[in-house]
Amino acid sequence: MIKLICMIPVALVLLSLCCLSCGRQVTSGLNMQNPEQARASETVVLTITNDNGKAIPGVRVYSSEYLGETDKDGRLVTFFKESGDYELSSRKGKTGEPGFTEVKSIGTIRIIPSPIELQAFDGIPPLLPPGQTYTGEQHYRPEMTVRFRLKNIGSTEITLDNSSPWKIETLEGDTVFEPVALQVLASLATGEEKEWIWDQKDAYERQASEGSYIVVLTCSEGEYRLRFWVIPEGMTP
């Protein structure tokens, strides 16, 4: 279940692109639909359209970091780990090329504290290039066990619809693995937690490739996300 509190269109600055062959001005705009507010780690859907309401694929969206690129339906499914106000920007195409569009402020979204904590652990610190700092996201060598837990840090009980209400996705949204779950309700009182593991095998028992992955977990408080990395041996101490 994806919880969107309020979908609003955000009108953006129109960018004028000069048509050298005809000497006229071609105007192109980007608009974003987004929830005004979401919880930390909660699934957020951003939709980018033009001034006629047509979805625009291939738009790169940024906050303080790169969030991803819109799909064929103009949608980007993402999340924000920390509370705060995030100003988003977007780019379509490459600088200097025909059709390039950039909007420095495409809209804002407020992220508020979450009633749940979704966290991976037992990873290893990666070797980072000079100048880069460790973000706290867990990194694992191939074949290591990925461990993660859900903790109720809110004031009310959380309900789980089955024994394993999670799946593993790529950043592009493709499902890599979804466990077989017992269809029994479970609950977590305030302060309680539940843990799961993933052995890095896909649905066909093949080792997952190196790269970034997302745990997508659903509970009575909504759908939440957690990112982690499977990295090559050369990037580990």
**What is residue 174's predicted lDDT score, i.e. its pLDDT?**
95
**125 and 191, same domain (yes or no):** yes
pLDDT digits 0-9 by tens, 20-38: 333 322 335 799 999 999 9
Confirm whether 2 is domain-assigned. no
What is the mean predicted confidence (pLDDT) over 112-132?
87
How many residues are there in the chain? 237
pLDDT at 108 over 50: yes
Report the CATH number that the domain containing residue 19 is assigned in CATH.
2.60.40.10
Whether residues 61 and 78 share a domain: the answer is yes
Q: In what order do the strands lie in the sheet with 101-112?
A: 37-39, 101-112, 84-92, 59-62, 66-69
Choose the weakest-confidence range: 131-140, 170-179, 216-225: 131-140
Per the model's pLDDT, the better-predicted residue between 175 and 95 turns out to be: 175
Residue 1 inside a domain? The answer is no
Domain that holds residue 94: 7-112
**Same-domain pairing of 122 and 231:** yes
* Ramachandran area for residue 222 (φ above 0: left; ψ -120 to 50: alpha; else beta): left
- Count of domains for the chain: 2
Please report the pLDDT score of residue 19 as a whole number. 33
Of 157 and 19, more confident: 157
Same domain, 68 and 142: no
Q: Is residue 99 part of a domain?
A: yes
Which CATH number does the domain housing residue 168 bear? 2.60.40.1930
- The answer to pTM > 0.85 is no
**Is residue 191 assigned to a domain?**
yes
Position 11 in a domain: yes
Q: For residues 148 and 118, is the Cβ–Cβ distance under 8 A?
A: yes
Q: How much is the mean pLDDT over the chain?
A: 86
Q: At 130, is the pLDDT very low, low, confident or very high (cuts 50, 70, 90)?
A: confident
What is the average pLDDT across 56-77? Answer: 95
Residues 146 and 222 in one domain: yes
- Quick one: 120 and 101 in the same domain? no
107 and 122 share a domain?
no
Does one domain contain both 183 and 228? yes
Instruction: Provide the pLDDT confidence category of residue 10 given band limits of 50, 70 and 90.
Output: very low
Same-domain pairing of 167 and 199: yes
Residue 99 pLDDT? 82
Q: 234: pLDDT confidence band, cut at 50, 70 and 90?
A: low
